[in-house]
Structure formats: structure tokens, C-alpha cells
Structure 1
Amino acid sequence: MTERPHRDTIALEDARVLSHEAHPGSQQILRLAAPECARDARPGQFVHLRCDPRLALRRPLSIMRADPGTGSIELLYKVVGEGTRRLATRRPGETLSLLGPIGRPFALHRERPRPLLIGGGVGMPPMVFLADALRGEAGWRPFAILGSEVPFPFDPRPAQQPVIGLPAEAGAVMPLLEDWGIPNRLSSGQGFPGCFRGYVSELAEHWLAALDASARAEVEVFACGPHPMLAAVADLARRWGLPCQVSLEEYMACGVGGCAGCVVEVRTAEATAMKRVCVDGPVFEADEVFFQAET
């Protein structure tokens, strides 16, 4: 899978709500008929959704699945404010104004055939989308770690695929990923049954330590989640000498690069620069974003 140009594929369409499921922890899974977005979407990209006609600003939501065949996309989000509260009231048959797909997607590299996918909270969707793109593709051997501090928006089940080097307590999986043939494990600090009790970065450390040097040289890390989690994953990748791509979560106004309201400081070859998460990202190389300023 190669990186594609992404600024000339943004479509504006009226997306019809196909289903809208509520899950514990104020989480919602929204499935939309959005054929133009579904056709062009790549893992790591997002949509900018008008949650309610009475709200001027759209909300950015990561794409969890995109099916060009059915013209549908799926989004996982958590109700945290007025916009997502109103979005949660939308029912099948209604339409939502959608801009997407937006942003720079993840880029896979054939010389690194063991992608380590790490998603935390509402950072899980890009990892599911990336896993979906990898399933059935010859040569790829992904492993996914998903973390949440609220109940997962699916029913975990015991793993059927063994993974060496993991603590015995790490025995629960996301059924969808396992059904796709992708090994995965769950992590939480809340003591959920079958979940590793700790951070996703700690569970990833166990997995990496169990690999021999040749296998570890085939690993590339992909992550999305809260900023502290991404910082920990970036540090993990740095210590193990692994390339790492992160998808950032930022508040946005326009979502298409015009307002510069979502800028982050990024290290370049010359110095540092301010980059827009919406179109220069949301995917960045981890060491571009998580670096220590020189004193």
C-alpha cells in the first residue's frame, strides 16, 4: 500500500445514516452511506461531519471502516460535548453533511512486514481500518493492541491465536480482528476480564522483547490515541529503534487547512515548523512530533 495524494479527493456529500449503535462508556458506532468517501478513504484519514444543522462547526471523526462495494463507512466516537451529544440523537434514514476523506493516511513499507498497530480509546478506529486493509494481503503479519479505560465497544472474547511473550492475563481479543485472522490483545487499567492491566505501550514492550532481532527488524509501529499514549509509544519505538507513525487527535474548525486552528510543532531537517493536523497530517512520523527541544 503506497501513500496517495490526499488534498484533491475531499468530497462533500449528504451521508445517509444506515445504523447508529450505542455502547457503554458513551460510545457510538455510526454507519453511513457515503459512496464518494468510501471509494477514496485510506487508513488514517478522517471525515468532518456536521452533527446538527444548528451547529456551525463540524466535528472530525476517524474512519473505522470503508466499503467501496456498499458505499458505506463506519465511525466510532465518544459523546463528550454538545456536538457529539446531538450527533448521538441522529437516526437511520436521516442525512448528515460530510466532508471527506481528509488528511494524510498511513504509509506501509514492504520491508517492514510486521506492523504493530496500537490504538487507544477513540484512537482504535484507524487501527481497525488499517487491519482491514491488511487482511488477506500476502506477506503482512500484523499484530494489534487496543486499549480503553471504559468498556470496549464490542464484546471481548478469549483469544484463539497464540502470541508469544505476552503475560498470561492478556487473553482477550476484539472478535472482528481475530475473525479476520489478525492476532490482537486488549489492555486496560480498569481490570476488565482477560485484559492486560496496564498501558498499551507496556504490553507492546512485552511483545517486542519476545521477538528475536531479525523479526524485530521487520516491525513498524502505527498508533492513534490520546497525546500521552502517543508520547509513550513514540518513546517505545525510539528505544527499540523502530519507525513509528502516529495519527494525531486535535480540535479543528474548517478541517481542510484554511483556518490553521489545528497546528502542531513539527521538527524538520532545518528547524521546527508549524504544520496543520488536518491536511499535513493527521499522520506524522513520531519523531517529527515527539521530540525534545534543544536547550
Structure 2
Amino acid sequence: MSTKPHRETICLEAAKVIAHHGYEGNQHILRVEAPDCAARATAGQFAHLTCDPMLAMRRPLSIMRVDAQRGWVDFLYKVTGHGTRLLANRKPGDFISLLGPIGQPFRSDPSRPRVLLLGGGVGMPPMIFLAEQLKQHHAYRPLVLLASEVPFPFSQQPSRILVPGVPEGVISSMPLLEDWGIPSRLASLQGYPGCYSGYITDLARCWLDGLDERQLAEVEIFACGPQPMLRATAALAKDYRLPCQVSLEEFMACAVGGCAGCVVEVKTAAGPAMKRVCVDGPVFDAYSVFSS
């Protein structure tokens, strides 16, 4: 396997497919052997993958988990077009060109240990990665809320961990998080048993309403998902005067800052500025992106 450093921290690797599983809703979890990426990646970053040898354009996928010692990286993605449809055909033993890790990660504040993580759809992976990262630091007390309008890509499990403020009957959790001792709850508009029937931000509001002023002062919000969800998350954070970071999802060409094809307008102290989601993000302060 050959690797070469790219822009100091980004590496190009021939990543070997270790496992590739399909789930309902055209969802897939891909595990590849990519030791350089695994050693460098932190929550909020992504990789740019070649979906097929005959397709030049890569696709950006958020990193869901890494094992730096064993050298593997996990991705959750949904088939939405030609590239991801080709990627879904890749089998164990195949090699995929991987460029990563790329982008600015989430940055947690130790003075705000009550960390609220919101992941919607294919925005779930960074939240799972961040939760795993935070569990290494016992001072943090994360709560993970996940939402999907297609079946979740894991078996739902009734939680054994009490979460004050969550409505009665909302007991479905992600087994992996449950095993880590991290409380989680699921939300959907599809009526899945044990899930909150509504938007993830409304479920988050239920939890926040159960906190007193001292507890609220310890909360920080992190989110990744569709833009309407992120906009609602920024509004939620503003209502409770809480810091909030969001990871944006944008179409990308080069993904290393050269083409400026993924720029978004961001509010700065000097006024509005155009920032590249790939290298200036994908993580931004929510108030700088969603100012209204």
C-alpha cells in the first residue's frame, strides 16, 4: 500500500475494503483499511473517496468511526446518485482511493460538559464519532439524539439509561452508544416504535426545558444533518443562549480548497465572507452561518 502526504495533514491512500453492509433505505456502512487516515482523523472531518475506477469524480463522506491501532475507518452513506450507486458495489478485497482526513473538526469546551449531539440522516456519523471521542474524557456527559425518515441503519434497542426531560415512551436508542454508556434517543416522523414522533430539535427542546439555569450554562450543542435541521438547531441554540457548532454538507469537486466550488457565506467580525466548506469547514459556528 502506497501513501503520500498531501497538504501536511491530508494523505492519499489505497484503502482496502474490509467490510461493506447494506441496510434498508439504500444505506450502507463501509469499513476500509486506511491507517494514515485512521491515525489522523478527528470528529467532524471527512474523506474524499473514489467510488469506481471508471469514475474520476470523488465523493465526500463523513467519518463515523476510526480505530487508529487497527487502522480502519468506517463510513455511513446513502445511495443518492450515480457515484454512490457505484460505491455500493464495492466488495471486501477491493481497493478505493481515499483522500483524508479533510476539514476542520468539532472543538469541545471543557467548561461545558453537558454536550448535546444532534445527527439527522447521513449526518449521524460525525455525532457517533464525536461521542466516541468524548467518552475518553470522563468530564463530559454527552447526550446523542439521532433522527431518520428511513429505517435506522442499526437495530433499535430500549435504553437502560434514564434521560430526564425526555417524554415517556421515548426509549429507543442506538445499541453501540448504549454499550459505551452514552445515553441516546431516536426521533422520526415515520412512527417507529419507541422513537420520538417529531423533529429532533423538538426532542432536544424537551430535554433542555428540564434543565435548570446552572445546568443550561454547562450545555454546548453540536449538529450535523440536512440544512433545514441545522437552521432549526441554530434557532434552538439561540433560544437558550447556547454555543453551537454545525457540520455542513455541500457538493464538492476537489475537496481540498482549490476549486472553491463549495463556498458558503459566513458572518465574520469584518463582515460577510465566503468560506470553503471543505477546508474552512465543514464545522462552523452555527451563528456565523445561520445569522437570522
TM-score normalised per structure 2:
0.97
Deviation at 1:135, TM superposition (A): 1.4
* 1:154 corresponding residue in structure 2: 154
Cα RMSD of the aligned pairs, angstroms, is 0.9
1:275-290 equivalent positions in 2, closer than 5 A: 275-290=275-290
Q: CA–CA distance in 2 between the matches of 1:269 and 1:197?
A: 40
1:1-295 equivalent positions in 2, closer than 5 A: 8-292=8-292
Q: CA–CA distance in 1 between the matches of 2:75 and 2:131?
A: 15
* SS of alignment partner, residue 56 of structure 1: coil
> Aligned partner of 1:184: which letter?
S
> Aligned partner of 1:44: which letter?
G
> Aligned partner of 2:61: which letter?
L
Gap regions ≥5 residues in structure 1? 1-5
Higher deviation after alignment, 160-169 or 71-80: 160-169
Higher deviation after alignment, 128-137 or 99-108: 128-137
Q: How many residues align?
A: 287
Q: CA–CA distance in 1 between the matches of 2:192 and 2:107?
A: 33
* SS of alignment partner, residue 96 of structure 1: strand
Q: Deviations over 1:101-121 (max 9, x none)?
A: 000000011101111000000
Q: Deviations over 1:253-275 (max 9, x none)?
A: 00000000000000001210100
Native 8 Å contact 1:47 1:98 kept in 2: yes
Q: CA–CA distance in 1 between the matches of 2:193 and 2:136?
A: 30
Q: Deviations over 1:13-58 (max 9, x none)?
A: 0000000000000000000000000000000000000001111210
* SS of alignment partner, residue 20 of structure 1: strand
Please list every run of at least 4 consecutive aligned residues from structure 1 whose deviation after the TM superposition is greater than 3 angstroms.
Answer: none
Q: Deviations over 1:77-114 (max 9, x none)?
A: 00000000000000000000000000000001110111
Q: CA–CA distance in 2 between the matches of 1:235 and 1:273?
A: 21
Q: CA–CA distance in 2 between the matches of 1:169 and 1:79?
A: 32
Q: Deviations over 1:172-224 (max 9, x none)?
A: 00000010010010000000010000000000000000011111100000000
> Aligned partner of 2:76: which letter?
L
> Aligned partner of 2:82: which letter?
E
Native 8 Å contact 1:7 1:103 kept in 2: no
Alpha carbons of structure 1 residues 7 and 107: separation in structure 2 relative to 1, 3 Å = farther
Q: CA–CA distance in 2 between the matches of 1:66 and 1:7?
A: 21
> Aligned partner of 2:238: which letter?
R
Q: Deviations over 1:127-174 (max 9, x none)?
A: 000011111422110001000000000000101001111111311000
* SS of alignment partner, residue 116 of structure 1: strand
Identity of aligned residues (%): 61
Deviation at 1:7, TM superposition (A): 5.6
> Aligned partner of 1:152: which letter?
F
Q: CA–CA distance in 1 between the matches of 2:119 and 2:169?
A: 19
* 2:3 corresponding residue in structure 1: none
Gap regions ≥5 residues in structure 2? 1-5
> Aligned partner of 1:272: which letter?
P
Q: CA–CA distance in 2 between the matches of 1:8 and 1:124?
A: 28
Q: CA–CA distance in 2 between the matches of 1:219 and 1:57?
A: 40
Alpha carbons of structure 1 residues 7 and 170: separation in structure 2 relative to 1, 3 Å = farther
Q: CA–CA distance in 1 between the matches of 2:142 and 2:38?
A: 23
> Aligned partner of 1:73: which letter?
V
Q: CA–CA distance in 2 between the matches of 1:84 and 1:260?
A: 22
Q: CA–CA distance in 1 between the matches of 2:102 and 2:261?
A: 15
